[in-house]
Amino acid sequence: MTGFGVRLADAKARRGPLCLGIDPHPELLRAWDLPVTPDGLAAFCDICIEAYAGFAVVKPQVAFFESYGAAGYAVLERTMAALRAAGVLVLADAKRGDIGSTMAAYAAAWAGDSPLAADAVTASPYLGFGSLRPLIETAVAHDRGVFVLAATSNPEGATVQQARFDDRSVAQQIVDQAAVINRTAGQTTGPGEPGSVGVVVGATAFQPPDLGALNGPVLVPGVGAQGGRPEALGGLGGAAPGQLLPAASREVLRAGPAVSELRAAGQRMLDAVAYLAAG
């Protein structure tokens, strides 16, 4: 396969720069008149699959599947497979982070040959960026991507992410280390190709890090229900044109359960962010 960074850039060019979330929160299942059971979860996902088939990237929130145990993971596997069969890139929002052999096991699950492996996965670097090496190496070997948390939308995150060391914030150091990996990979994948290691910068981040040297995608969650405004995306962190991947979940999901209404809400969000995310 082609590297994730290239595939993502192509998908965004063809289908627009928007990542739509599948967040089957119990309150949403009830709002859609679905039972809060594995069967209700499966029905929720089937609606999302049909509505989101024409978009570039879909991000299932793993926690809401995990809460159902093995049955939830079975629904997640089937949902991811159906989305990919429809040509949609799947970003597993798992936020995994650990060390050594445990991180290697997470890497095999989410970025290797497991049925859970997605096109890309989110990861937490707060045990040290180097702890993510097994995940990044596995992802690169399988042409998958990793989005590393840098500056998140939750206000509590700033106490860690904005702490300074060697005159740089922790968030900036994470971006800079991701940039090094993308530059190193670029020596073999080809100059000018977008890297496959991205970062997560929330739409409501008060002091976003400098993204100019990343040469990788920037996932921007929090647009809509979490208070992020589409108009705030323009020039976020000095991002290059086309670098941002805005993400919206519940703001769109509230339009369900009708497939047509859900698809229309996704298209409205895409229209709202497309020209701003482009630069």
- Domains contained in the chain, CATH given: 4-276 (3.20.20.70)
Whole-angstrom Cα Rg for the chain: 18
pLDDT in the model for residue 132: 97
Examine the residue annotation and report whether 59 is marked as an active-site residue of this protein.
Answer: no
| Residues 6+ away with beta carbon under 8 Å from 36 | 26, 29, 30
What is the C-alpha to C-alpha distance for residues 269 and 230, in angstroms, rounded to an integer? 9
Residue 151 corresponds to which amino acid? Answer: A
Q: Please give the average per-residue pLDDT across 43-48, as a whole number.
A: 98
pLDDT in the model for residue 17: 94
Percent of the chain exceeding pLDDT 70 equals: 91
* Strand residue runs (E) in 36-143: 57-60, 89-96, 120-123
| Residues 6+ away with beta carbon under 8 Å from 96 | 103, 106, 110, 121, 122, 123, 124, 135
pLDDT in the model for residue 191: 60
Average the pLDDT over each of 82-91, 130-139, 157-166, 220-229 and give the range with the smallest value.
220-229
pLDDT in the model for residue 228: 52
- Model confidence at 250, in pLDDT bands (50, 70, 90)? very high
Does residue 133 contact residue 141 with C-beta atoms inside 8 Å? no
Give the residue among 71, 66, 32 at the shortest CA–CA distance from 51. 32
Q: Assign 3-class secondary structure to 133-159.
A: HHHHHHHHHCCCEEEEEEECCCHHHHH
* Residue among 15, 84, 95, 254 flagged as catalytic: 95
Residue 141's CB: how many other CB atoms inside 10 A? Answer: 11
- Model confidence at 159, in pLDDT bands (50, 70, 90)? confident
- Model confidence at 186, in pLDDT bands (50, 70, 90)? low
Instruction: Report how far apart, in Å, the C-alpha atoms of 152 and of each of 54, 142, 162, 235, 243 are.
Output: 28, 27, 11, 17, 17
Does residue 160 contact residue 124 with C-beta atoms inside 8 Å? no
pLDDT surpassing 70 at residue 198: yes
What is the C-alpha to C-alpha distance for residues 89 and 94, in angstroms, rounded to an integer? 15
- Model confidence at 222, in pLDDT bands (50, 70, 90)? confident
pLDDT in the model for residue 61: 98
DSSP per position, 160-183 = HHT-EETTEEHHHHHHHHHHHHHH
How many CA atoms does the CB half-sphere of 272 hold within 13 Å? 20
Element (H, E) at 169: strand 168-169
What is the pTM (predicted TM-score) of this model?
A: 0.94
